[in-house]
Structure 1
Amino acid sequence: MVSDAGLTGKNRQIVDRVIDIGKNQFRILEQGEGPAVLFAHGFPDTADTWRSQMHALAEEGYRAVALDMRGFGASFSPSEVEQYTSPYIVGDLVGVLDALEIPSCTLVGHDWGADHAQKAMLMRPDRFKALVSVSIPYAPRGETSLNDSLRDRGLGDRYYALAFDNPDTSKQFLPAGKTIASVLYWLSASPPPEQRWDPIDPAKHMLRPAPVAAPDWADPNYVRRTIAAFEHSGFETGLNYYRAVPHTFELMSAYKNAVIRQPSLYVWGCSGRAVSILHSSNPTVHDMRASQPGLVDVVRLEDTGHWVQHEAADRLNAELLEFLRTHAPREI
């Protein structure tokens, strides 16, 4: 649970509002004053996933901002798949800074938020000065897209995300009251290891009925808000992040083999299966610095799955603050 004890003035309350980015509206949460930290979430989630981290940073003198990403919650949700490519998403992140008159910031991203935050480091190093990737590591654009690589490995019929190209996929995520609980549970470290979600085993899919209404690590208010958000928005536009992968691959050709030079941190839960096809079971700083020369550390969390910001909230908060104090410039 997040408490407001010890906070005063602007640092006490999270402000929940809608801002204009060009002609489009985006919902943001904002808390605290000081150097800015912008949080980007993944699927299926909203800005509310970051409340614990926002509170911790505000208490230590930072300005924490999180947005409902394009296609989620109360933010702009176009139907066209092509509008979910990295140039659009990075444009949204820059737009938040512009709307709030923030010259530059540190970016923290989880899941798809991490992927697009990494690309923001490449595309706008003038605005994004430091990076924290949660659960998803950085992989430079190579010769072959992730989707094509998986097909080449014979996983085209097994890898979960390739099935999301089906226009009826979003119906499988209904009703949100049941499927949000399923995704939170099966992707976490809560189930027995042999039962956890596996991205290349259709029998262990993420939408199996969960044995609990919500995992014990999940704040009931967060679960309630997330269910309500998807009951309102549905899941179709959120799935467009997966469908846009080949489009982003083509658009990012100028960044082939590009490295992230800003100070960065990678935090991941070793009980999660999502990373099993993205890196080894024990990636080291040395291994990952080839593509991230500014990488400070790799934090491997035991007994933690995909939902690091919830399952290991206190540890992630501590790692964030240490990274910000040491490696993120205070003048941001």
Structure 2
Amino acid sequence: MRDHPVSTATTPTDLFPLRRTQVEVNGASFHVIDQGEGPTVLFAHGYPDTAETWRGQMHAAAEAGYRAVALDMRGFGASYAPPEAELYSALHIVGDLVGVLDALNIDSAVLVGHDWGADHAQRAMVMRPDRFRAIVSLSIPFLPRGELSTWDALRQQGLGEKYYVFGMMEPGADANFEPAKKTIPSILYWLSGSPTPDTGWDPVDSARNMLRPAPVAIPEWADPDYVAHTISSFEKTGFDTGINHYRGAQVTFDLMSAFKGAVIQQPSLYIWGAADGLCQLFHPTPPTREELLPLAPGLVDVIALENVGHWPQHEAADRVNAELITFLDGLELPESPGSARHAA
């Protein structure tokens, strides 16, 4: 267990100012937010989101003596957003994550990922164990590269006409997500644990889709500033390049044959919301640590959050923060000279 620095500041921002910058990564510009000092924790978000989704976890990590870094992922926010779907494979995204570390002169980091950010982070653990020491996955369990891609496996299960993603990936389907001021609140609400039973999002039932008008303007668990930022971001960028993360999944499968069957050896933690429609589809019976250990031999724990949906970093922020810090404190991470943790 590591000692945490004691704060005497009157406000969190006095002691842990948030730094914003554009960094060059492999010749492209990425927006990065950075907070605290110490061993680095790199946060990766999913769809439809930005780095701002991690503000609560970043502050908790900074307060505990870590350096928290989050980026607008490729295709989102103020980061590089090429139109070509084939440029959104995990190999490209892992290159972005490594490039951010290089741009900030960071040798290694613990990854925290949600949704597509979790999937890309998991591939990073397999591909670059020299740079990524451990991982916390939110909402998406790790599955090694197998014989079938995710999309082909779903088609084989007879879900090719039902699973929501297939319609999303069609050309022009991004228009269904406009306008952002209406769809972002809907997505946040319907994918969460807030709807009454049997009314929330179901990824294979079009009648329970994520774009239905929400009964509330902003879910009670959501920070209004975060929602406003997310809406503003997608009003500027649109949704098509974000959807490219789905389109690029087949490219990832095709390019990663050398990693077939490769597991995550480093320490890992899986946190998921028991009311998440996506999790209920992929593991209707709650997975245990023992069941997942063959896929991730370093798995520390599997944590199911009751009455929580697809946004655990918001819906159960305090619990997620506590589990994150406990996990980080259990790792043997190198100290950074001059950091608060180092000075303590």
Decide: shared fold, TM above 0.5.
yes
Q: Which residue of 2 aligns with 1:238?
A: 242
1:6 CA drift (Å): 5.3
CA contact (8 A) 2:185 2:219 kept: yes
Q: Which residue of 2 aligns with 1:136?
A: 140
SS in 1 for 2:222: coil
User: What per-residue deviation string (whole Å, max 9, x for no partner) do you get for residues 172-212 of structure 1?
Assistant: 00000000000000000000121100011111110001111
1:161 CA drift (Å): 0.5
Amino acid at match of 1:83: L
CA contact (8 A) 1:164 1:243 kept: no
Provide the identity percentage. Answer: 58
1:7 CA drift (Å): 4.0
Q: Which residue of 1 aligns with 2:162?
A: 158
Q: Which residue of 1 aligns with 2:285?
A: 281
Matched, 1:178 2:182: yes
CA contact (8 A) 2:274 2:280 kept: no
Name the CA distance, whole Å, in 2 between partners of 1:7 and 1:295.
32
Change (3 A) 1:8 1:193: closer
Q: Which residue of 2 aligns with 1:270?
A: 274
Name the CA distance, whole Å, in 1 between partners of 2:111 and 2:266.
11
Q: Which residue of 2 aligns with 1:215?
A: 219
Moved over 2 A (4+): 4-9, 276-281
User: What per-residue deviation string (whole Å, max 9, x for no partner) do you get for residues 211-267 of structure 1?
Assistant: 111100000000000000000000000000111111111111111111100000000
Change (3 A) 1:328 1:280: farther
Matched, 1:309 2:319: no
| Residues 128-137 or 276-285, more deviating | 276-285
Amino acid at match of 1:71: G
User: What per-residue deviation string (whole Å, max 9, x for no partner) do you get for residues 26-80 of structure 1?
Assistant: 0011000000000000000000000000001111110000000000000000000
Change (3 A) 1:130 1:5: farther
Q: Which residue of 2 aligns with 1:297?
A: 301
Name the CA distance, whole Å, in 2 between partners of 1:280 and 1:153.
15
- Alignment coverage as a number of residue pairs: 328
Unaligned runs of 5+ in 1: none
Unaligned runs of 5+ in 2: 1-8, 337-344
1:278 CA drift (Å): 2.2
SS in 2 for 1:16: strand
Name the CA distance, whole Å, in 1 between partners of 2:20 and 2:10.
19
Change (3 A) 1:280 1:221: same
1:165 CA drift (Å): 2.1
Name the CA distance, whole Å, in 1 between partners of 2:36 and 2:16.
7
Matched, 1:117 2:121: yes
Amino acid at match of 1:16: R
Name the CA distance, whole Å, in 1 between partners of 2:213 and 2:323.
33
Name the CA distance, whole Å, in 2 between partners of 1:33 and 1:212.
38
Per the normalisation by structure 1, the TM-score is: 0.97
Q: Which residue of 2 aligns with 1:108?
A: 112
CA contact (8 A) 1:270 1:281 kept: no
Q: Which residue of 1 aligns with 2:328?
A: 324
Name the CA distance, whole Å, in 1 between partners of 2:333 and 2:292.
23
1:8 CA drift (Å): 6.8
Name the CA distance, whole Å, in 1 between partners of 2:79 and 2:249.
21
Name the CA distance, whole Å, in 2 between partners of 1:76 and 1:63.
23
Q: Which residue of 2 aligns with 1:227?
A: 231
User: What per-residue deviation string (whole Å, max 9, x for no partner) do you get for residues 92-141 of structure 1?
Assistant: 00000000000000000000000000000000000000000001000111
CA contact (8 A) 1:39 1:108 kept: yes
Change (3 A) 1:12 1:193: same
RMSD: 1.2
Q: Which residue of 1 aligns with 2:196?
A: 192
SS in 2 for 1:195: coil
Amino acid at match of 2:296: Q
CA contact (8 A) 1:170 1:235 kept: yes
Aligned 1:79-90 pairs, distance under 5 A: 79-90=83-94
Name the CA distance, whole Å, in 2 between partners of 1:256 and 1:280.
25
Name the CA distance, whole Å, in 1 between partners of 2:332 and 2:207.
43
